[in-house]
Amino acid sequence: MKKIEKPITHQIYDIIFSLLEKTPKGISWTVLASKIKEMEPNFHPKTINGCIWKLIEKYPDKVYKPEKGIFRLLKYKK
């Protein structure tokens, strides 16, 4: 039986959420992008940026921006 691989965007969101989980204070756009690129060098930078750009729109129930350019999980909101 062949293993079905998740689409790249889903893989990127999985990485984003694992990074946000480990960082209660939040992560800046640039750090998020560079860590994803570091973890998965084969992902295209524009795909990574697109996923980060759409993060709040796609997951408003999970992520918010406490300040410009910073992403944080809602569960860490004070």
Q: Is residue 35 assigned to a domain?
A: yes
| Domain span holding position 60 | 8-76
Q: Give the contacts of 56 (CB within 8 A, at least 6 positions apart).
A: 63, 64, 65, 71
Q: Is residue 3 assigned to a domain?
A: no
78 has pLDDT over 80: no
Domain CATH for 41: 1.10.10.10
Tens digit of each residue's pLDDT (9 = 90 or more) over 13-68: 999 999 999 999 999 999 999 999 999 999 999 999 999 999 999 999 999 999 99
Q: Is residue 1 assigned to a domain?
A: no
Q: Residues, the chain, total? A: 78
- Number of structural domains in the chain: 1
Q: Is residue 22 assigned to a domain?
A: yes
Q: Is residue 18 assigned to a domain?
A: yes
Q: Is residue 12 assigned to a domain?
A: yes
